[in-house]
Structure 1
């Protein structure tokens, strides 16, 4: 038994009305992560300059304040020594002493946290920074520079370190492209602002 053309047309109209109505009722645009008036801090650790380059671009796009995370004791410049030390520190959960830390981050609503991806997570200096402050109620947005590992498990690690913060989905930037990531940063910030 076939349906008349009018009945088929009516079914399509009902279908599209139901889909549109369902989208209006149940679907809404994702809430913005960054809102007008938010006080923003970009805190980052950068050994080679890649993470710094991305942090500066985030600052330009958001008008954020910047805190450079620096260790009191410099890391070795030789690659093999550096990677061995970093691997050991991460395995041991070591948090190096920092210099020039902000007195407080209480004034900020949103904190971008930047790090190179070392052994799949944040550099120990960033772990030190995260453990030094109260992030309760703050929005934390990780960003990483990497050579192929993306965010690794850094996002999950930050959530574990900051259980009282709202840790948002992070973004990974290829280290080799970091200095030219302006458009990628701009697009990411637009997403965070829900523009």
Structure 2
């Protein structure tokens, strides 16, 4: 009889242990599931980081003395853009650029109403693939230097955002941007920018970032 009661006691204790273990395991599982749900919800509601611009950008420029080139290189580096130099088929010499000499090349070209300067290659590689095009030139006789004219007239800017800019030690942008837009005839042209000489790195970087491309 005593042995039988002892056996009943052992069985009861074992059963109680199983129930306790089962309850504890359920609580732990429920707690883990609850924590996972909270983490999932928090991850879903967390703000997503801003994605980098997918726009493909080209900086095209003509530079006779290097000032415009300096601006272009800084702008291209800031925007992670490709560079394309607008190069005359016959490069300008220092004597060609002497605007004080009426017999110089630039003086004669200025007096020609067509102001045409043939380029080595007016169209950059894969030009159709670009979403944004920055066009830079120095100011000559109060307007953007005419060697860029062939680049503007021989390319299709349809569907592209175009930003003109110029370099000059004295002249303002004036209506150079509007004249460039008229020559191109296509594209979504934005407000232009004028840099004094080579500009400063901080100024160029601030301008390029402000374009928000």
Q: Into which bin does the TM-score normalised by the smaller protein fall? A: 0.7 to 0.9
Alpha-carbon distance in 1 for matches of 2:183, 2:70: 25
Structure 2 unaligned regions, length at least 5: 1-51
Aligned to 1:123: 145
Counterparts of 1:1-195 in structure 2 under 5 Å?
36-78=53-95, 79=98, 80=101, 81-89=104-112, 92-101=113-122, 102-175=124-197, 178=198, 181-193=200-212
Name the larger-Rg structure.
2
Count residues in correspondence.
Answer: 155
Alpha-carbon distance in 2 for matches of 1:163, 1:69: 19
Q: Pairwise CA RMSD of aligned residues? A: 1.8
Q: Which has the higher contact order (CA 8 A, sep 6+)?
A: 1
Q: CA deviation at 1:82?
A: 4.6
Aligned to 1:20: none
TM score, norm. by length of structure 1? 0.73
TM score, norm. by length of structure 2? 0.67
